[in-house]
Amino acid sequence: MKIKILFVASEVTPLAKVGGLGDVVGALPKALSKLGVDVRIITGYYGTHDEKTYPTSVIGKIFVPWNSEPLPAKIRKTVIPKSRVPVYLIDQPQVVSTGGIYDSPTAIAGSEAEVERFLFISKAAVLLPEIIKFKPDVWHLHDWHAAPVTLFLKPPHAPTLLTIHNLANQGWASSATIARAGLSVSGAKNFNLFRAGLEKADYLSTVSPTYAKEIQSAPGGEGLEDILRRRRQELTGIVNGIDTQVFNPATDRCIARRYDARHLERKFLNTTALRRLGGLDDIPGPVFGIVSRFTNQKGVDILSQAIEPFIKSKRLQFVFLGQGEKSLEDLCLGLAKLYPKFCFGKIGFDAVLAQKIYAGSDFFLMPSRFEPCGLGQLIAMRYGTIPIVRATGGLKDTVVDIAQLGGTGLVFNDFSAAALSNAIDRALALYGNRAKLKTVRRRAMRHDFSWEASAKEYLKLYKHLMK
């Protein structure tokens, strides 16, 4: 008999994606399905949904008690492309489908409307099993957006697993919003939905072993370290994978020239194409790239400080893609304006340009303050683009410094422009050693970061919870 798992999440790639959370929820269920798991996903039907590309069908209607009266919502259904994994989307025009997934380009919860959106989706999710005739063995909840499911489930219910993708994003609800959702909370005017879920879920996981350790103390715990220390026996870290069908330089239709580890000489054609796209000069030096949310977490502030002297001296070129805090966007835009032949980029989300940056860059930058797992470094390695990362969270777990046996990237410890500058210097030295560069690239490309191994770990955890 198949194990039945029900995911609840704010994002599902490619239907609705902003960051790595969407990539995980879009790829892990496909890997689990291949292991014989009956896995299904619940998410929101947002105002930005592309019905033409990802058509849905209405399969039912539910009435969700909200603000003391039943609020109707349509249940739409589709599948993750190139799979049979069903996705159920909650379509409620007043609460869920008014705009995008999040109200801020940083994806950090800030507005009351956004908090209400995910409270509603969580409450609706609890009603869905009866509608879709699916009784889960485990509820797999993702981040604060789905944490309220634990508050709405009534016993007896299947075990709940709450996965922490980013503890810094917590979702605070006012007493008025909590009341609209029909929850009773005494005391504080603002209620932390993530804290409530972390306390109530049957088991907790996060997306790398190192991050699981980091969040048990300050500052990594983001004010929730007391719960995580207390529950450390019910907390595990499982490294994310990537969808190796989507991220494959040998089949990627978005890049200028396809290649693999045996034909690395073709990679430079993607570098040339990336330079032409951005109007950059053809120089003998390397291209450094970044694809990221521009938030305090990602280290864009120290990156702009560290990389400018190298751009100014024409030793490298820099290509960026991302969006978030305006001050950080302006730092990158400022570099592009000052050095138009050595720096270019785009503010916003562009999946095609992202692929071109992964394939066309020589080095990929992830100087994060903290990083629960990170997918950029995994994708970069898949494309033979050497990651430069800070030793934190999943970056520490997945990238081995080239000074060590089996090295696949450049790793630095201190969160500072000086430490990053030193790592960039080392990258330039590696670039100058063409034989070693080729070896490191091939080693990185042949590393297995598929979801298969991680999916097996989740399957073990599900079975443990079902005992």
Q: Stretch 310-320: mean pLDDT, rounded?
A: 98
Tell me: do 188 and 304 sit in the same domain: no
Per-residue confidence band for 349, with pLDDT thresholds at 50, 70 and 90:
confident
Say whether 172 sits in a helix, a strand or coil. strand
The residue assigned the tokens 């299947």 is: 158
Measured CA distances, 414 to 232, 389, 390, 421 (Å): 27, 11, 7, 11
Q: Quick one: which H or E segment has residue 133?
A: none
Name the token pair of 428.
């330039």
pLDDT, residue 1, reads 81
> Cβ neighbours of residue 151 under 8 Å, at least 6 residues apart?
122, 183, 196, 197, 200
Tell me: do 337 and 377 sit in the same domain: yes
The residue assigned the tokens 């978030």 is: 324
Inter-residue contact 175 to 227 (CB < 8 Å) = no
Q: Residue 289 above 70 pLDDT?
A: yes
State the DSSP string of 207-257: S-HHHHHHTTSTTTTTT-HHHHHHTGGGEEE----B-TTTS-TTT-TTSSS
**458 within domain boundaries:** yes
Closest by CA to 149, choosing from 114, 108, 198, is 198
Number of domains in the chain: 2
**379 within domain boundaries:** yes
Q: Stretch 77-90: mean pLDDT, rounded?
A: 96
The residue assigned the tokens 């996060």 is: 206
**SS percent in the chain: helix, strand, coil, step 5:** 40, 20, 40
Angle at 384 between CA 245 and CA 264, to 5 degrees: 100
What pTM did the predictor assign? 0.91
pLDDT, residue 188, reads 63
Inter-residue contact 85 to 78 (CB < 8 Å) = no
Tell me: do 379 and 406 sit in the same domain: yes
How many other CB atoms are found less than 10 A from the CB of residue 445? 21
Give the domain extent around 345: 261-445
301, with CB counted inside 10 A (0-12, 13-18, 19+), is middle
Q: Rounded CA gap, 7 and 12, in Å?
A: 10
Is 326 annotated to bind a ligand? Reply is no
DSSP conformation class of 12 = B
Strand order in the sheet with 235-237: 57-66, 69-79, 86-91, 38-44, 4-8, 138-142, 160-164, 203-206, 235-237
Query: In CATH, what number is assigned to the domain containing residue 186?
Result: 3.40.50.2000
448, with CB counted inside 10 A (0-12, 13-18, 19+), is exposed
Inter-residue contact 416 to 390 (CB < 8 Å) = no
Position 250: which residue type? A
Tell me: do 228 and 351 sit in the same domain: no
Tell me: do 30 and 95 sit in the same domain: yes
Tell me: do 288 and 387 sit in the same domain: yes
Distance between terminal CA atoms of the chain? Answer: 15
Rg from Cα positions in the chain: 22
**107 within domain boundaries:** yes
Average pLDDT, the chain: 95
Tell me: do 327 and 441 sit in the same domain: yes
Position 22: which residue type? G
pLDDT digits 0-9 by tens, 178-188: 999 999 776 66
Per-residue confidence band for 103, with pLDDT thresholds at 50, 70 and 90:
confident
Q: Residue 189 above 90 pLDDT?
A: no
Tell me: do 194 and 284 sit in the same domain: no
pLDDT, residue 190, reads 85
Tell me: do 215 and 308 sit in the same domain: no
**251 within domain boundaries:** no
Measured CA distances, 354 to 255, 291, 292, 348, 393 (Å): 10, 6, 9, 11, 23
**250 within domain boundaries:** no
Tell me: do 191 and 298 sit in the same domain: no
Q: Rounded CA gap, 59 and 177, in Å?
A: 29
pLDDT digits 0-9 by tens, 59-73: 999 999 999 889 999
Q: Quick one: which H or E segment has residue 169?
A: none
Q: How many CA atoms lie within 13 A of 11 on its CB side?
A: 18
pLDDT, residue 345, reads 98
Tell me: do 229 and 265 sit in the same domain: no
Residues 390-416: b if buried by 16+ CB within 10 A, e if exposed:
bbbbbbbbbbbbbeeeebbbbbbeebb
Per-residue confidence band for 417, with pLDDT thresholds at 50, 70 and 90:
very high
**253 within domain boundaries:** no
